[in-house]
Structures are given as C-alpha cells and as structure tokens.
Amino acid sequence: MNKEQDAHANLLIRPFGEDDYHAVISLWEQTGIPCKPQGRDSKEKILKELSNPGTLFLVAEKDGDIIGTVMATHDGRKGWINRLSVVPRRQHQGIATRLLKEAEDHLYRCGMEIITCLIEDDNPGSMEFFRKKEYIKHTDIIYFSKRKYPDV
C-alpha cells in the first residue's frame, strides 16, 4: 500500500456537524488559516452560513480525528472554494485533492461554471496546489474589503 492509499484507508469525507466546531477551529489554527472565532468563524456564523442551500462544508475524518476541511459557496454566478486545509502530518497524501473534488462537484451541480479561491500572498503552498489543479492565478485583480469590525 502506498502513502496515498494508506491515507485514504478509513478516510471519511462528510458534512460538517455542529459537534465538529472545536476540532475544526483547532485544525485551522494548526494549518495557519486566519481564524476569527469571535467573529466570522464563530459557531453561530458558520451554522448560519450552512443554512444557505448553496453552501457545502465538508470535513475529512480519519480514525475519529478531523484532519481536513473545505467549504464551497456560491453567489449564483461564481463558485468559491474556502477553508481548504489538511493537518500538516497528512498533507501531500491526496486528501486536499479529494476535498477539492467534492467541493467542485457540488458547485458544478449548483450550475456554477466558474470556480474561484482567494489565497493570501504568504501561502505559496496553496498557490502551487491550486495551480496544479488547473486554477489560473490572476495578477490583474486587486482585492478590496470593508469590515464592519475587525473580527469579521
């Protein structure tokens, strides 16, 4: 059995459940994903996001531990991949690829023909991952945001 086959043995990709919240926050902290548990990443805000029928939030679970996440959302014309993350000890084993495929399939079923993601410039690993998955880096787009308060 090779490394990827071993990683996928007993791997369960399933929807996020409310009881997964603390494990997911811990995973995001381990992987360096900016996390605002007092704001946009509060349990209440995540559960509200999940009430949107276009939102899919998946976790990868192995041997009872949550080892990966991905969220897929859309605005009716463009799909978004968010929070694709795998714990460091399980990276480079095909888990992120499986999570991404599930998210993309969901967005295609929702009628999205464009799928996008935003990656911060200090995350070259994610940029390389998405490049290998045939995503195109756009250097001609400047991202602006306005925040009601710092934790959103």
CATH assignment of the domain containing 71: 3.40.630.30
Residue 129's H or E segment, with its range, is helix 124-132
The total number of structural domains that make up the chain: 1
Look at residue 148 and tell me if it is in a domain. no
Q: Is the dihedral of CA 141, 109, 70, 57 positive or negative?
A: positive
Look at residue 151 and tell me if it is in a domain. no
Q: Which domain holds residue 89?
A: 3-132
Look at residue 146 and tell me if it is in a domain. no
For the beta carbon of residue 71, count every other beta carbon within 10 angstroms: 20
pLDDT in tens, 96-148: 999 999 999 999 999 999 999 999 888 899 999 999 999 999 999 988 999 88
pLDDT at 1 over 60: no
By residue count, the chain amounts to 152
Look at residue 106 and tell me if it is in a domain. yes
Contact 13, 99 (CB under 8 A): yes
> So what's the pLDDT on residue 2?
58
